[in-house]
Amino acid sequence: MKKWFLWALFAVLATGCANTGSGELVGTARKRYIEPLPHGMKLVPGGTAVIGSDSEDAVLWDPNSTTKSITVNPFYMDETEITNAEYRQFVMWVKDSIIRRELLMAGYDEFMLNADDERSAETAALDWRTRIDMRNEDIADMVRQEMYLPEEEWLFGKPALRTERLVFTYEELDLKRAASGDYGSRRDLIKRTSVPIYPDTLCWIKDFDYMYNEPIASTYFWHEAYDNYPVVGITWEQAQAFCAWRTKRLNDALARMGQRPVFAYRLPSEYEWEFAARGGLDGEKYPWGSEFVKNNKDCFLANFKPGRGNYSDDGWVLTSQVAQFAPNDYGLYDMAGNVAEWTWSAYDESAYSIVSDVNPEFRHEAAPDDPARLRRKVVRGGSWKDAEYFVRVSTRSYEYQDSCRSYIGFRCVRDYLGSPRR
C-alpha cells in the first residue's frame, strides 16, 4: 500500500511539473464545457433573418410595416407557453416560503437550514426538507391566520387564501448603470423588486362585458382539467418575477450539487421571439411556412378566430391545451395563436429604426409616474380571440405592463452558454 501511495504521489508531482515547468503560457487546464439542454426547452440556433412585414402583408400607413435584417445569438426557448400547472408551482413555492419564514420568526428554528445560525428569520436560509406539521395545533392556527381569510369570508366552509399576501421579492444587478459609471457603490446597482404574483382570475369577466365567463373564471387556474392550458391573467411584472424565481430555484439546486450556475431565465425580446417563431424560414407569414392557415386535410394549423368568428372551427372555443398543433421547425409549439405572449421589449412604433442589427433590443424600465405610453410592452403571436392577421409572425402589438388579460400568457428563454453543438 505504501509503495502504491508513493507512485501516485510521484505521478501527481510529475504532472504538475510537466504543466508548468516549460514556462510557456498554456492557460488553466479545464474540460470543454457543454451545457445540457434545459428541461422543456429547445435550442434556437441563432443566425440572421429578415423580420417585419413585407410589402404584401403591410397595412397602409402602418408604422409597424417595416423590415429589418437582424442577427441574434443562440438561445433556449420554452417549447410551450407556461402552463397553469407550472405557474401554480411558483404560487405554492411562494406560499410555502412565507409560511416557513413566519414560523421561523415565531421561534420554530427547525425550519432554518442551520439551527445554529444567528441570522434573523428574515434573512435565514430555509430548510425545505423539514415538513410543516399541520397536526400541530399552534402551527395550524398560525398558518390559517397568516395565509387564509377569516372564516366568515369562506364560501360553503371552504378556506380561501389571502392572495394579496403572495408577494415574491427578487434582486437584479443593473449592468447598464454599472457600465455608465453613474453610481457610488455596488449597492446602488442592486435593484430589489416585490411583486404580488397571484393571477387575476377575474380577467375572463373583466375583458368581455357581454359574455358568460363565470365558470371558466372560477376554475381555469386551479382545476386540474386546465393543468396543461397556458396561464393567463398575468402581468408583465408577474412574468418577470416568475423568470427570476425559476432562475433562483435552478441555480440553488445546482449550487447544492456543486455545479456552476447558468444564465438567468427571462422573457424573450420581440426580435428573438420573431426569429424563433419563423423557425428558420425567411419571408413566410406563419410559423408553419405556408401561405394558408389550413393544411391539406382542411384542418386549421393554430387556435385563433377563423373567418368572421367561427371560433370552434379550429377545435377550440377559447384557449387550448398547449402543444395541440404541430410545432415549427425549431420544435416550438403555439408560436401562432392560443395566447399572445409577453416579450421583454418596450413598444415603440419606430423601434426597428433605432435598435442595433446585432442582438437588437429596446427596453424601458417605466417608473410609477411615467405616462401610460412608456408602460407599453410588446406582445406577439396573437391569441384564440384574434383574427388571422394577428397570428402572423411579423405582426406587432402591445399591452400595458400592469395589465392582466385572458388572452395573454408568456414563455421563457435562457441565453446559450458554452460550446456550440456540432
Mean of pLDDT values over 145-156: 90
Phi, psi of 284 (to 5 degrees): -100, 150
Asked if the 31-83+202-235+265-422 domain carries CATH number 3.90.1580.10, the reply is: yes
Identify the top-confidence range among 6-15, 52-61, 193-202. Answer: 193-202
pLDDT exceeds cutoff 80 at 116? no
- Among 74, 87, 13, 8, smallest CA distance to 47 is for 74
CA–CA separation, 61 vs 53, rounded Å? 13
Query: Is the confidence at residue 118, as pLDDT, over 80?
Result: no
pLDDT at residue 15 tops 50: no
Q: Cα dist. 329→82, 281, 411 in Å? A: 20, 8, 18
User: C-alpha grid cell for residue 306?
Assistant: 377563423
**Is-contact 257 186, C-beta < 8 A?**
no
**What is the overall mean pLDDT for the chain?**
89
| DSSP summary character for residue 386 | S
Q: In this structure, what DSSP letter does residue 373 have?
A: G
CA–CA distance, 417 with 251 (Å, rounded to integer)? 14
| Residue found under cell 405556408 | 290
Q: Are strands 47-52 and 167-173 parallel, antiparallel or unpaired?
A: unpaired
Whether pLDDT at 203 is above 60: yes
Comparing 280 with 116, the larger pLDDT belongs to 280
d(CA 265, CA 415): 8
Task: Report the alpha-carbon distance of residue 363 to residue 361 in Å, rounded.
Answer: 6
The rounded distance, in Å, linking the Cα atoms of 216 and 223 is 10
Least confidently predicted of 116-130, 134-148, 197-211, 310-324? 116-130
**DSSP 8-state secondary structure symbol assigned to residue 125:** P
Range with lowest mean pLDDT among 98-112, 116-130, 369-383: 116-130
Tell me the one-letter amino acid at 371: P
pLDDT of 340: 98
pLDDT at 27 over 90: no
Contact between 282 and 289 (Cβ < 8 Å): no
pLDDT reported for residue 54: 60
Rounded Cα distance, 264 and 371, in Å = 30
Q: Domain locations in the chain? A: 31-83+202-235+265-422, 85-160
Q: What local confidence, expressed as pLDDT, does residue 392 receive?
A: 95
When pLDDT is cut at 50, 70 and 90, the band that residue 290 belongs to is confident
